[in-house]
Structures are given as C-alpha cells and as structure tokens.
Amino acid sequence: MGEVIRRDAAAEDIFADAATTHTNAQARGGAWQQLADERLKVALEVSEVVKARRLEAQRALPPLMAAIETQDIGADRLLGRTGDDLWNALGRPSSDPVLSVIFPGGISYYTEGPDVEQPDRMELLAELLESIHLPKLDPARAQGAAQEVRAAAQPYRAAVEAARIPRARVKLLDRVLSAVARATQIELAQLKRLYKAQGFSEAEIHTVIPDRPAPVKKPPAPLPPA
C-alpha cells in the first residue's frame, strides 16, 4: 500500500510532491485534475509567494550581518584594550575589588552573548567607568575610556537595529512556510482519500501522487553477552 509524504518531512519535499501531483493530475484531466486543483492549487500558489518573500528577505541579510560582524570585531578589540589599559594603570594587580565589579569575570561579560545585547552591555560599562571611583586611577582616564566605549557602541547599535526587522522577517517567513507545508501535506492526504472515493485504485493513485513509504525501522542491536 502506497503512502503520502509524512507531515514531518522537509517543507521543500512536501511542496515538491504536491507540485508533482498537480502536474500529473493535469496530464490525466477529468476528475484527477479537478480534485487536484481543488485541494492543491491554492496551497502551491501560497507556497510560491512565501518562498519568494523569504528568498528576498534572506538576500537582504548578508550585508547587514557582515556590518554587525565588523562592529563586533572592533568592539571586542576595544573592550579588550580598555580592560588591559585599566589593569596596567592600576599597577597590574593580581586582584582588585573595584575592577572585578566593573569587569566581572574579565571582559567576557561584555564581549560574549547575543550581538543584539552587546551595545547595551557596552553602554553599561561606560556608565560604570563614569560612576565608580577607581583608586590609583586618574578620573580623566576612566572618563576617556567611558567615552570611547560609548562612541563604539553607537554604530554597533545602528548595525543591529538595521538588521533587526530583516532577521525577524526571515524567522517569521520560515514559520509561515512550515505551516503552509503542513497544510499542503494534509491536502495531499485528503486528495488521496477523494481519489479513493472516486473508485481509483491504490496503484493508480500513486502514479499521480508520489509514493513515500515509511522508513523501515531497524531492529535494536543485540546486547553483548554478559
């Protein structure tokens, strides 16, 4: 007995089977074509629209992500240099309670994590440098470091904001495409039931709808002897 493609199959595979089914049904004409048009035509049209929108959104992302990467590299270098400069200015102490507050666990707090959050972390660092007094450190030096960090955070934030909507659009269209694929698979299964109701045989139906037999489950490997 033939099988329609599974609901958990890849979206592109589901759309490919639906397109093949529609093409085969059109070649047959009559009830084959009529029922396929009713069940699949709209789903295939919607899938093409969504795929085109997703491709458009995906093409817009690379230069935006490259801009974020450029800002990230420069910001990480600045943060590393800032941490080293302050540590050297304080006499390279093995530990410093105030410096540990500003750089908890080193600079990794500011350099690691989602890129959308790093400009905010950099702004926080600038505020700490401006408001926390570091003994043995000229306040003007801390103020200068804060200004430099804040200045670097601004273009980073602008790059993140420029990519925010395109990134969200790609994620949303991915979800929409998955939903359309599930709906298309349901329409394929329903089409098969309608063909059966027309009196078409299983073999005939799967000359129109691609046969996707379920994968054979391998028996578990025998346990090694005790």
Tokens 């899938």 -> residue: 47
Query: Do 153 and 123 touch, CB atoms closer than 8 A?
Result: yes
Q: What is the pLDDT of residue 137?
A: 76
**Residue for token pair 């600045």:** 78
Question: Is the residue at 137 inside a domain?
Answer: yes
Residue 130 exposed, middle or buried by CB count within 10 Å (0-12, 13-18, 19+): middle
- Does the global pTM surpass 0.85? no
Q: What is the pLDDT of residues 18-34, one digit of tens each?
A: 999 999 999 999 999 99
Question: Token match 């069940």: residue?
Answer: 39
Q: Is residue 99 part of a domain?
A: yes
pLDDT tens for each residue of 171-222: 999 999 999 999 999 999 999 999 999 999 999 999 999 999 876 666 666 7
pLDDT in tens, 99-144: 888 888 788 889 988 999 999 999 999 999 888 877 777 888 889 9
Domain boundaries, position 194: 11-205
How many domains is the chain built from?
1
Instruction: Note whether residue 225 is domain-resident.
Output: no
Give a yes or no: residue 161 inside a domain. yes
Mean pLDDT of the chain: 90
- Using CA atoms of 84, 87, 88, 91 in order, give the dihedral in degrees to the nearest 10: -170
